[in-house]
Chains A and B, each alone.
Chain A
């Protein structure tokens, strides 16, 4: 009873504790400190810095004269930015859809006890190990209107075959789609294949005993259980799409004109070569907004799911 009276409140505990504040107890925090500092400064600090710059009239050098949302207004009145955003919509949409479709189909096909599955899988996935710059360089040559794919088809006898998407401002964005799909679809296949292998075997046996055909089993049982994989793949693909910069740089360099620009290229050009730091920062913030719009619901559902387990 008297101990309780003496210990009123937590202060006593605090003063009793210093005996244990040895270096060893601080070790976990000490070794984490560099990462914490670097993360707070180089991710969150810089994010805020860029956000601040996007509200200033910074041109060649950062200035801190605030101009409100002027830069954002300029941005959305800028024809080149609108083209870049539209391109992102087309490129991102097609890229994600085609990758998902190819990924699912190839994964299901490969899941049918295929001989040499390992070798085929390796071939589908190798582009993922390559830099987008190399991919861009290769496809630039393949899609070259004079010497590339077009010539191959003409020489094969299709004399009127024309394939000039790479120099056609209306079609050039589809070249980006082709190259990006080639690079990333194998990865989506690998994700789904891993998902398929993780489906409970008893579930499939039960479906077969219930009289379901292989097709029905996939459609009604297996694919619905892969919903989380769909979401993961979509998040990753949209993330790749929004960040796409190197592919454009290598394949089209934004051209013809600026018809194949993506937001990342717009941002880079305005910040580093056209001395429009304020505008570039505003475009970066819009990109961040796009990523967060996709990421936050995803992380939220992921974390909630984890708590349910």
Chain B
């Protein structure tokens, strides 16, 4: 009897359900895509077209002037050089911060999972809490500290802050990954005569490529998208692009130029979007790894 029902072709009810399913999924896809599409369309229109047309109307000509203005001329606060300098600031902050925090995370994870010592698990638990505290509780003391260290309002200061508060996550990632490596591997290498760093460099690091990719992508996205530290700890000319974008959008000289706002927003989103499109698999793995297992 069950054989017959399997052999039978799908009924029309099942077919209708399939159609409904696909319809819902595609509509939702459109909903998720819509804001980005509107941004793109708006950035290609001129101010006049924006006023007369609607969100979804197509631009009559391909007008890239809003893009060049956003990049090089738009005013953010009192500065009218576009967001390009801030875009570069972001890279100046992100690259060292990602590299340092990833390296520290790898070493910490290596120690916590393969060279346990008295208190290392307790410390890991303490560090884990660091992933979750609302950063509001450290903002003011950190601002004072950066002042004392003489790196307030500098990109160095921002790199420092991002490393300090990123290392909890990177350690978590590497620790969970290294937890799956049998401890016997380290024992074998120790008997073979390898030391702490040799084992790390020759045996553990070559196994770590996937988690390095996940961590680098996670950190890149987090730090690039940061606003709170940027706005609290940067000076006028060391702002990251998120802060500059917010200033640009909230600066109103005369009429609002939505096309420039949208172009600037897309520019600010481009690096992380590119990473997502190129390495989405690792991005998702980072998201779920940070989330599912603590």
A-side residues, CB < 8 A to B, are 24, 27-29, 31-32, 34-36, 38-39, 42-47, 49-51, 53, 62, 106, 109-110, 112, 114, 120, 122-142, 144, 147-149, 151-152, 155-156, 182, 186-187, 190-191, 194-195, 228-229, 232-233, 236, 239, 242-243, 245-246, 249-250, 253, 263-264, 267-268, 271-272, 277, 280-281, 283-285, 287-288, 290-291, 295, 299, 302-303
**With A46-B138, A140-B249, A288-B133 given, is the CB distance from A246 to B227 under 8 Å?**
yes
Determine if A138 and B35 form an interchain contact, defined as CB atoms under 8 angstroms apart: yes
Contacts of A35 in B (CB 8 A): 104, 108, 127, 167, 171
Q: CB within 8 A of B137: which of A29, A46, A253?
A: A46
In Å, the complex CA distance between A268 and B232 comes to 9
Q: CB within 8 A of A50: which of B107, B123, B138?
A: B138
21 contacts between A and B (CB under 8 A): A27-B195, A28-B196, A35-B108, A38-B167, A43-B129, A43-B130, A62-B140, A120-B29, A130-B272, A131-B226, A132-B227, A136-B246, A138-B36, A142-B55, A187-B287, A194-B292, A228-B292, A232-B291, A246-B242, A268-B232, A277-B140
B182 within 8 A of A: no
Interchain nearest-CB distance for A75 vs B (Å): 13
* Interfacial residues of chain B within 107-151, with CB under 8 A of chain A in the complex: 107-108, 111-112, 115, 117, 120, 123, 125-130, 132-145
B168 within 8 A of A: yes
By size class, the interface of chain B is 35 or more
Interchain nearest-CB distance for B148 vs A (Å): 12
In Å, the complex CA distance between A228 and B293 comes to 10
B84 within 8 A of A: no
Q: Which 10 A-B pairs have the closest CB atoms?
A: A131-B225, A129-B276, A246-B227, A28-B115, A46-B141, A27-B196, A46-B138, A284-B136, A49-B141, A137-B265
**With A126-B273, A142-B35 given, is the CB distance from A114 to B22 under 8 Å?**
yes
Contacts of A144 in B (CB 8 A): 258
| Residue of B32, B221, B224, B226 with most chain A CB atoms under a 10 A cut-off | B32
Contacts of A195 in B (CB 8 A): 292
Interchain nearest-CB distance for B30 vs A (Å): 9
In Å, the complex CA distance between A122 and B283 comes to 11
Determine if A141 and B139 form an interchain contact, defined as CB atoms under 8 angstroms apart: no
In Å, the complex CA distance between A128 and B137 comes to 25
**With A134-B265, A249-B246, A268-B232 given, is the CB distance from A191 to B130 under 8 Å?**
no
**With A142-B55, A151-B54 given, is the CB distance from A281 to B117 under 8 Å?**
no
Interchain nearest-CB distance for A254 vs B (Å): 11
B288 within 8 A of A: yes
Contacts of A127 in B (CB 8 A): 32, 35
Nearest CB in chain A to that of B232: its residue: A272
Determine if B133 and A114 form an interchain contact, defined as CB atoms under 8 angstroms apart: no
Determine if A129 and B221 form an interchain contact, defined as CB atoms under 8 angstroms apart: yes
B contacts with A: majority SS? helix
Determine if A141 and B38 form an interchain contact, defined as CB atoms under 8 angstroms apart: yes
Q: CB within 8 A of B120: which of A32, A128, A190?
A: A32
Contacts of B197 in A (CB 8 A): 27
In Å, the complex CA distance between A24 and B195 comes to 7
Q: CB within 8 A of A42: which of B21, B29, B164?
A: B164
In Å, the complex CA distance between A43 and B123 comes to 12
B185 within 8 A of A: no
Determine if A155 and B288 form an interchain contact, defined as CB atoms under 8 angstroms apart: no
Interchain nearest-CB distance for B162 vs A (Å): 12
Q: CB within 8 A of A109: which of B24, B107, B125?
A: B24
Beyond the given pairs A31-B196, A264-B136, A272-B232, 13 more chain A to chain B contacts, judged by CB atoms under 8 angstroms and listed by A's residue number, are A32-B112, A45-B141, A50-B138, A62-B140, A112-B21, A114-B22, A134-B266, A141-B42, A186-B32, A245-B228, A246-B242, A290-B134, A299-B129
Interface residues as binary, B200-213 with A (CB distance below 8 Å gives 1, 0 otherwise)? 00000000000000
B251 within 8 A of A: no
Determine if B280 and A122 form an interchain contact, defined as CB atoms under 8 angstroms apart: yes
Determine if A137 and B249 form an interchain contact, defined as CB atoms under 8 angstroms apart: yes
Interchain nearest-CB distance for A192 vs B (Å): 10
In Å, the complex CA distance between A180 and B242 comes to 17
